[in-house]
Amino acid sequence: MTSETSGENTSAGARSFGLVVVGDEILSGKRLDKHMPKVIELLTARGLQLDWAEYVGDAPERITAVLRRAFASGDIVFSTGGIGATPDDHTRQCAAAALGRPLALHPEAEVLIRERMRDTAAEQGIPYEPDRPDNVHRLNMGVFPQGATIIRNPYNKIPGFSVEDVHFVPGFPVMAWPMIESVLDARYADLFARGQSAEKSVIVYGTMEATLTPLMEAVERTHPGIKVFSLPSVDHPEYGRHIELGVKGHAEGLAAAYEQLIEGLHSFDARLGPEMVR
């Protein structure tokens, strides 16, 4: 399992966002994770940021431990994968174990799953048989921890679910991404900060990070709420060996912080390259 530790969001009063990606296929390399880049994109478009991510395989004890931390964190967390009804799908059961709650067939989920089964039967030109063993088994996809609410799935109606601020969606991007977007827009629009956060940086040549650290610390001390970042590269195809040094945070304070950063770089006689604004 690979993880980044949850940390306090840099914006005052902001909530932190986390992501859990479940599946042996990710850790084995059979499939590349596409969820983290997309979640970052969805959050960024709303002036938000991803604060941490964890990857975990299909071992139930590990999934339960990850979800227990997610529920305890108080963060807004999206979990992708493992909510189906095949033997390698454990996320629903692990969520219940992490919460100490029983599992139960959600009535709205049952309605939606039965609608999907009727639709499938009609598409195939066969009668819908609700008591057929495979159809009965499909209802397990609507068995969620007690007290869960559903997340509607516009792709095939098979829902995901939410418990408090932890939201569970399928591993398929075509389903997961619109479901995550709908949760963000329906539940967290009051947190959106479109146009309020910004980032500005410059390419710096011929200087070591250690040399620039006092300057970076001074900028952060002078401008509370602004973060300085340093991204070194040794073999960039365009800039070669360099450091991308910049500031990010609320747009109102960004210009003054960046001005201090540039003035400080000039005092080091650093050679500066292109500037970037995001």
- Above 90 in pLDDT, residue 195? no
Q: What is the pLDDT of residues 198-240, one digit of tens each?
A: 889 999 998 999 999 999 999 999 999 899 999 999 989 999 9
Which residues are CB-neighbours of 164 under 8 A, at least 6 positions away?
Answer: 71
* C-alpha dist (Å) from residue 88 to 22, 63, 83, 242, 263: 11, 12, 9, 45, 57
- Above 60 in pLDDT, residue 171? yes
CA geometry: angle 173, 55, 246, nearest 5 deg:
85
Q: What is the pLDDT of residues 1-35, one digit of tens each?
A: 334 334 433 343 568 999 999 999 999 999 999 99
Q: CA-CA distance, 64 to 56, in Å (whole number)? A: 10
User: By mean pLDDT, which of 18-22, 61-65, 91-95, 223-227 is the weakest?
Assistant: 223-227
How much is the average pLDDT of 175-183?
A: 98
CATH number of 197-277: 3.30.70.2860
- CATH class, domain 17-191, is alpha beta
**Residue type at 23 in one-letter notation:** G
Domain ranges of the chain: 17-191, 197-277
**Residue type at 202 in one-letter notation:** V
CA 32 to chain centre: 15
